[in-house]
């Protein structure tokens, strides 16, 4: 899948669930519920045991029907393993230029973590496809995204860190291409109650995004 198609597809959904489950099985169960709930995208972080294999298994199960990426990627070795596993996109918590260069070489979408205007511009110039503003709420939430977009409208951004269904719409209105949601959407252990929570929160997030774009 071409990286521009991945980025457009994820932006259309408007929500990227960040998966930090305790087990491989829970990660797969969470993604199954997300897909059923109309959120066919998942960022499988490296905190999930054997994350590259989880990504490979998910891509084998869903193919192009679900965008599956690797998250919390901090080294080139992790990035290489994730890409080899079939990751549609790579997400880093910080800017690592070697990872950006590798993803550009392989034609894989790379979303880099940055916070200050200088960090955002440096990562963009290095070749990042989109900037993950983290931790967004700690810097003022939606208003910070708006302040970044003022002088830097050409740089696409998406917030994570403190995003909820209650503020997701404001982030979108203030310039975010999509939002990233963690434990508020996907708990660390996936049992019956967790699955119900995922369904409920998915509906709330999607409704917030749709309303903000209307």
What distance in Å separates the CA atoms of residue 143 and residue 172, rounded to the nearest whole number? 11
Q: What angle do CA 2, 159, 123 make, to 5 degrees?
A: 60
Q: Is 43 helix (H, G, I), strand (E, B) or coil?
A: strand
**Candidate list 3, 28, 81, 132, residue with the active-site label:** 132
Say whether 132 is catalytic. yes
Are 179 and 206 in contact, with CB atoms under 8 Å apart? no
Give the residues across from 109 on adjacent strands: 89
What distance in Å separates the CA atoms of residue 43 and residue 67, rounded to the nearest whole number? 8
The DSSP secondary-structure symbol of 134 reads T
Q: Cis before residue 52, ω within 30 degrees of 0?
A: no
Say whether 43 is catalytic. yes
**Candidate list 3, 43, 59, 195, residue with the active-site label:** 43
User: Which sequence positions are flagged as catalytic?
Assistant: 43, 132
């Amino acid at each position: 899948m071409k990286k521009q198609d991945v980025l457009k597809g994820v932006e259309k959904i408007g929500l990227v669930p960040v998966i930090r489950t305790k087990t491989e099985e829970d990660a797969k169960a969470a993604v199954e519920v997300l897909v059923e709930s109309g959120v066919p995208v998942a960022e499988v972080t490296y905190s999930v045991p054997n994350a590259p294999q989880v990504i490979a298994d998910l891509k084998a199960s869903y193919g192009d029907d679900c965008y599956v990426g690797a998250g919390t990627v901090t080294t080139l070795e992790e990035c290489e393993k994730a890409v080899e596993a079939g990751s549609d996109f790579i997400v880093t918590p910080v800017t690592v230029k070697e990872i950006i260069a590798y993803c550009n070489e392989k034609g894989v979408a790379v979303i880099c973590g940055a916070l200050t205007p200088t960090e955002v511009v440096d990562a963009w110039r290095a070749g990042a496809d989109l900037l993950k503003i983290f931790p967004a709420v700690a810097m003022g939430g939606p208003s910070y995204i708006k302040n970044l977009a003022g002088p830097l409208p050409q740089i696409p951004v998406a917030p994570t860190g403190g995003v909820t269904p209650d503020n997701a719409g404001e982030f979108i209105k203030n310039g975010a291409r999509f939002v990233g949601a963690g434990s508020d959407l996907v708990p660390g252990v996936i049992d019956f109650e967790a699955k119900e929570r995922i369904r409920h929160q998915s509906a709330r997030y999607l409704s917030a995004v749709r309303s903000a774009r209307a």
